[in-house]
Amino acid sequence: MTAQIIDGKAFAAKVRAEVAQHVAQMKAAHGITPGLAVVLVGEDPASQVYVRSKGKQTVEVGMNSFEHKLDAATSEADLLALIAQLNADPAVHGILVQLPLPGHLNEDLVINAIAPEKDVDGFHISNVGLLATGQKAMVPCTPLGCLMMLRDHHGSLSGLNAVVIGRSNIVGKPMAQLLLRDSCTVTVAHSRTKDIADVVRGADIVVAAVGRAEMVPGDWIKPGATVIDVGINRIERDGKPVLVGDCDFDSCAAVAGAITPVPGGVGPMTIACLLANTLTACARANGLDEPQGLTA
Ligand code: NDP
């Protein structure tokens, strides 16, 4: 069997086009432009690339982008003051604080200072609780992107066995909650899981979010299963730097029914879902109908 490749780049372009259409309608019908504020503290090169890309794509879908670049030595009090200002600003519907923050800043404190309804990353403790209890939440972007691709591929996920490898707060746990909400039977595997190969072999859906290059070989995959590879790992191959996922692509693709590549799978969906979340936050803030198909 050779797996169908789930093209995250094309899917993300489709999501962005849908978001842009909703934004244009919102402007025309209500005179409202969704706004996303991104806060970057320090000079981390990878974070700078992400923030630039987020700002560019925000503008491309017709939203307002507000970028706040702060010095690496910014105090917690100053950062919290900026967040309070953004919370109170009616032109700002989504707030994202780029992680990781410099070591002297308490990430939990900072994230939980964001108004939950503007927390487009879905990391605020209120959104975590709302998601876990099946209520209307802001859902973390990467798992939301994975869910959209899975729903698109399978239609209904009801009754499928899903194994999520990784239990982080930003990917593994919210992914498991979303799959549970769509009536999958969910197992969460992690570094202490015994016989992980056997656990994964029972899965109709495998979501790998570990951060270990090519950890999942094809012989862990049930024939015909769907593999969503969240991992982004930079390794050297034949003396050249390459980007690989947590799954060994060739051997997994030979067994799976469908698989996301790295790069070009989950990655592009993450920013597309950030834009979708900002649109959703703006619709909710203004009492408008939420865009269909762009939320969990
Ligand atoms: P974390 O490091 O926070 O979590 C990794 C998880 O993997 C932990 O739960 C850990 O278990 C588990 N793990 C580690 N080793 C093993 C092992 N040998 N067997 C089974 N489980 C193991 O990572 P993140 O969730 O933040 O990210 C995971 C990957 O996804 C990374 O490669 C990251 O770059 C990528 N990523 C990609 C995004 C995208 O947009 N495509 C967005 C976010 C992340 P334990 O808890 O027991 O330590």
pLDDT of residue 152: 97
Q: Take atom 39 of ligand 1 and give the residue whose Cα is closest.
A: 267
241, with CB counted inside 10 A (0-12, 13-18, 19+), is exposed
In the block, tokens 């799976």 appear at 256
pLDDT of residue 5: 98
Query: Domains in the chain and their CATH numbers?
Result: 31-116 (3.40.50.10860), 141-268 (3.40.50.720)
Pick the atom of ligand 1 nearest to 233's CA.
Answer: 32
Q: Take atom 31 of ligand 1 and give the residue whose Cα is closest.
A: 211
Tell me if residue 198 is catalytic: no
pLDDT of residue 208: 98
pLDDT tens per residue across span 92-121: 999 999 999 999 999 999 999 999 999 999
* Percent with pLDDT over 90 in the chain: 99
Pocket test for ligand 1, best of 123, 191, 227, 273 (most atoms within 8 A of CB): 191
Beta bridge partners of 260: none
Ligand 1 centroid, distance to 275 Cα (angstroms): 24
Q: Take atom 35 of ligand 1 and give the residue whose Cα is closest.
A: 231
pLDDT of residue 45: 93
pLDDT tens per residue across span 254-290: 999 999 999 999 999 999 999 999 999 999 999 999 9
Taking residues 142-148, report their average pLDDT.
98
pLDDT of residue 1: 62
Q: Which residues line ligand 1 (CB under 6 A)?
A: 142, 165-168, 170-172, 189-193, 196, 209-212, 230-233, 266-267, 270
Tell me if residue 222 is catalytic: no
Q: What does the H/E/C string look like for the chain?
A: CCCEECCHHHHHHHHHHHHHHHHHHHHHHHCCCCEEEEEEECCCHHHHHHHHHHHHHHHHCCCEEEEEEECCCCCHHHHHHHHHHHHHCCCCCEEEECCCCCCCCCHHHHHCCCCHHHECCCCCHHHHHHHHCCCCCCCCHHHHHHHHHHHHHHCCCCCCEEEEECCCCCCHHHHHHHHHHCCCEEEEECCCCCCHHHHHHCCCEEEECCCCCCCECHHHCCCCCEEEECCCEEEEECCEEEEECCECHHHHHCCCCEECCCCCCHHHHHHHHHHHHHHHHHHHHCCCCCCCCCCC
Ligand 1 centroid, distance to 209 Cα (angstroms): 4
Are 14 and 6 in contact, with CB atoms under 8 Å apart? no
* Percent with pLDDT over 70 in the chain: 100
Tell me if residue 121 is catalytic: yes
Pick the atom of ligand 1 nearest to 246's CA.
Answer: 32
- The pTM (predicted TM-score) of the whole model is 0.97
Positive or negative: CA dihedral 186, 216, 168, 56 = negative
Are 243 and 233 in contact, with CB atoms under 8 Å apart? yes
From 118, 119, 121, 173, active-site residue? 121
Residue 18 scores a pLDDT above 90: yes
Distance (Å, whole) CA 70 – CA 51: 13
From 57, 98, 222, 229, active-site residue? 98
Residue 56 scores a pLDDT above 70: yes
Averaged confidence pLDDT in the chain: 97
pLDDT of residue 199: 98
